[in-house]
A and B are shown apart, each in its own frame.
Chain A
Amino acid sequence: MTPNASVPSSPSQTGDAPPIVEVRGVSKVYHRGPVEISVLRGLDLSLPRGVFAAFMGPSGSGKTTLLNLVGGLDVPSAGAVSVAGEILAALRPRALAAWRAAHVGFIVQLYNLIPVLTAADNVELPLLLTHLNRKQRAEHVRTALEVVGLSDRAGHYPRQLSGGQEQRVAIARAIVTDPTIVVADEPTGDLDAESAAEVLTLLRRLNQEFGKTILMVTHDPHAAEVAGRVYRLDKGRLASER
């Protein structure tokens, strides 16, 4: 079974909603010793609330860099990124960390769970930064694990879970704080087809049923089909949009 066979595309996308992500004239240059590597070149992008956007393109095209900038993990060399009206470059590191905790749910490739914590503890991690008490945190964790269908694996450690289950725990962790946007970098990159389909189904459900804004980087065209919008990047610029 392939992901696209089991997961239908998103039926509707909110093209007329106000933008939640605004990228204006963004460039990003990395310095590797004396060498300058220009990854993004004056990129403009506007994404409405509730969108499920996939970013595709060859390696080095700037997909992950764009995601990092939108998620507040990195700062642009030029231009501005604003998310939900907040210009990220204006935030100091501590404020940016607090902003990430409140507004962004991250899903990266596998191996991003803390191995010494159970699934429930991993999901609870972002809640330690909130003012919720123990009981409230437990309730949130239970709900998030229910959403990803892993209530019965709450006490399991990452090593006791399959790759797909680990990634679903990561998704639960990403949504447990009810973030403004969810960014996913190759969420199915290390998964077999069946697990990838489960993860994509879940992301699509989060978008459609819970209205989550999702930005996903993927190399897999089948995965991209699940998204409502697909942006193709090439050499640091938007090459096409569907």
Chain B
Amino acid sequence: MSHLKLIRRNALRKPLRAILTFAAVCIAMFVFGLVFTFIDLLTAGAEELEKAPVIWVRHKISLMFPVPEKYEEQIQAIPGVATCAPMMWTEGAYKDPSIYFPQFGTDPNDVFDGFAGVTTDPGQLAEFQRDLTGCAAGKALADRCGWRVGDRIYLGRRLWPVDLDLTLRCIYTSTKTDDEGMLLYNIKALQEGFLKKTGHRYDTVGTYRVGVETLDQVPAVIEAIDGKFADHDFPTKSEPEAAFIRSFISMWGDVPGIARFVGTVIIIFLVLICGNSLAMVMRERVREVAVLKTLGFSSARILTVLVAEALLVSTLGGLCGLGASVWVAGSGLFDMFMPGASMRMETILLSAAAAVGIGLVAGVGPAWLAVRAPIVDGLRRVS
């Protein structure tokens, strides 16, 4: 026999309780892993974005209001502006309704300029720019949908009274997983379809993505753009890309903050559950602890054994839950909510540390109480 066997046997002495504790930790760590993966997706690439000389221009009041198409030329005329591409949210219906992905009508000639972390094949990009009904998809999205260059992608009418019959011309990669979940197409395809369908020209866009020549010119360009349109019917609000993404996310509230709160609550909840379970275990074993002490086991050794029991259950449960969340995050099951998700190593390590921490925090208190009871009192206890 070894100490390990003693720990293992004790940890499993009440199988139902061990299984329930294991399951509680497993499920909680599964949710914890996904929650933090979600946070990662929302905040991924923030540092890279901070360094990108890119500005997003939208209506001053809200993203819900469009800005005129004619602003594009005026923005491009501002000193320091390198490129200006419209970005029109489309929401077309894909043939498989279970697969959701963001779609933007844009200017293929400018959209990838200064797009942080994005890499394109020059030949494919040229094809995308040439073909009015061409489109470009991120690699994660293409893989998920099984698309190859040359495939036709049909997006049915939903927000717009236009059906888009597109051809995939370019598959790009990005260091940001959510950027790889987008589909971009030529906005002229949407505008021409709209004109054919309604007889009216649609002359506004949702936002502009503006490339600036250098990062230090960004504040001046922002001031210039917003100043230029301040007295117009469609005043603008321009923001650096990182701030724009943050404000976009904050439309739903402080989602990362809420997600972190949920993750923290899960941990506290687990510590309480495990602590309660372990306290019951220790109460039942005060006499056994006293017997071990009579045999010459030191308090430190007994404490180590008892805490190791708690660690065994919490770590195994946590690792199983973590393994499940890693698999689910990478399997595409949640792509509708988290396109291109996969768990970062930092999140895996954080979750593993949380599982170990739960066992430590929940185990030390009850174990200490059991160990510090006088031997003679413990021996008087009847099991």
A126: chain B residues at CB < 8 Å are: 295-296
CB distance from A143 to the nearest CB of B (A): 16
* A202 located at the interface, meaning its Cβ lies under 8 Å from any Cβ of chain B in the complex: no
CB pairs A–B below 8 angstroms (16 shown): A73-B293, A73-B294, A97-B297, A97-B298, A98-B298, A100-B296, A108-B294, A111-B382, A114-B288, A116-B12, A121-B5, A124-B1, A125-B292, A126-B296, A128-B3, A134-B2
* B169 located at the interface, meaning its Cβ lies under 8 Å from any Cβ of chain A in the complex: no
Contact with B along A83-101 (1 / 0, CB 8 A): 0000000000110011111
- Check A73 against B287 for contact (C-beta < 8 Å): no
Q: Which of B35-43, B93-101, B315-323, B372-380 contacts A (4 or more CB under 8 A)?
A: B372-380
Decide yes or no: A100 and B294 within 8 Å by CB, A111-B287, A116-B9, A117-B1 being known contacts: yes
B3: chain A residues at CB < 8 Å are: 128
Interface centre among B294, B300, B379, B383 (most CB of A within 10 A): B294
Interface centre among B5, B292, B375, B382 (most CB of A within 10 A): B375
- Check A94 against B1 for contact (C-beta < 8 Å): no
Closest to A183 in B: B294
- Check A116 against B10 for contact (C-beta < 8 Å): yes
Contact with A along B353-383 (1 / 0, CB 8 A): 0000000000000000000001110010011
* B299 located at the interface, meaning its Cβ lies under 8 Å from any Cβ of chain A in the complex: yes
- Check B9 against A71 for contact (C-beta < 8 Å): no
- Check B298 against A121 for contact (C-beta < 8 Å): no
* A55 located at the interface, meaning its Cβ lies under 8 Å from any Cβ of chain B in the complex: no
A173: chain B residues at CB < 8 Å are: 295
B294: chain A residues at CB < 8 Å are: 71, 73, 100, 104, 106, 108
* A146 located at the interface, meaning its Cβ lies under 8 Å from any Cβ of chain B in the complex: no
CB distance from B18 to the nearest CB of A (A): 12
Chain A residues numbered 48-95 whose CB sits less than 8 Å from any CB in chain B: 65, 68, 71, 73-74, 93-94
Closest to B302 in A: A97
- Interface size of A by CB at 8 A reads 32
* B118 located at the interface, meaning its Cβ lies under 8 Å from any Cβ of chain A in the complex: no
Closest to B380 in A: A64
- Check B379 against A129 for contact (C-beta < 8 Å): no
Contact with B along A168-206 (1 / 0, CB 8 A): 000001000000000000000000000000000000000
- Check A114 against B291 for contact (C-beta < 8 Å): yes
Using CB atoms and an 8 Å cutoff, list the residues of chain A in contact with chain B.
65, 68, 71, 73-74, 93-94, 97-102, 104, 106, 108, 111-112, 114-117, 120-121, 124-126, 128-129, 134, 137, 173
Distance between Cα atoms of A74 and B12 in the complex (Å): 32
* 8 interchain residue pairs of minimum CB distance: A101-B296, A116-B9, A106-B294, A97-B298, A100-B296, A121-B1, A116-B13, A73-B375
Closest to B383 in A: A111
B297: chain A residues at CB < 8 Å are: 97, 101, 129
Chain B residues numbered 1-45 whose CB sits less than 8 Å from any CB in chain A: 1-3, 5-6, 9-10, 12-13
Closest to B9 in A: A116
A73: chain B residues at CB < 8 Å are: 293-294, 375-376, 379
Interface centre among A97, A111, A124 (most CB of B within 10 A): A97
B382: chain A residues at CB < 8 Å are: 111
A115: chain B residues at CB < 8 Å are: 13
Closest to A69 in B: B376
